[in-house]
Structure 1
Amino acid sequence: MKKIIITALGLFSLTACTDAAKEAETDKIQQSFKQIQTRLNEHKQYLNDQRDMHAKLGQILDPDGETVQMWNQAMANCENKDTEQCNELNEAMAGFRVAVSEHASSMLESMNAFDSANND
């Protein structure tokens, strides 16, 4: 009888240890999953914010928009003029062109990433 009790206690202890190890592993996996899910949600929010920002910039930079029309008029007025204001405008527009070009690349990357994230 003692052998049966000792064997039963041994098996129970072994099972309890195995279950505890499985539970610990399950908890670890669940925690990792929660962290991944949090990161994905943060990244998705970042992509949404980027999309919104690019949409606003798209409205501002619309070739038929009021802002672009005003810039074009200012550039036309400064054509072939060597004044301080026109030189500043030309320098600002050159820097602006570079920024818009870089931003357009960023916008395409963000849009592609957003589309990929929403399709997954």
Structure 2
Amino acid sequence: MFGAHLDPANIRDEDLDEAARHGERMLAWLETAREELDQVVGAGESPSGLVRARVDANGRVIDVTYGPGAPRMGSLELADETLAAVHAAGADAERRTHDLMREALPGYDPVAARAELESLLDGEPY
């Protein structure tokens, strides 16, 4: 159903059956996958390799570690390196989450799912 656009005036029984099957698959997956999703951790590193970060699936920073050369950096450079590591970790967590969803829901397309959600929310990004 991701990306499918149904015309409410022309909904067929087959469309309703497919929507019900899709909903059942999603609910079954959510029941079993919650624990897996809660354990997703993304890891990222700054361009210099002196800063490493880990982020959970919700984007919360778990930890940031600094290599031996980090204290010699200026504060702005260290801040940039820290943000880069956190962003890389967030992207890794997002990729891992999407991988889990693709395993559970064949045909899942995160870009299409986001676009569909945004269209349901009248184009308001979430």
Normalised-by-shorter TM-score class:
0.3 to 0.5
Provide TM-score, normalisation by structure 1.
0.33
Q: Which has the higher strand share?
A: 2
> Which structure has the larger Rg?
1
Q: Which has the higher helix share?
A: 1
Provide TM-score, normalisation by structure 2.
0.31
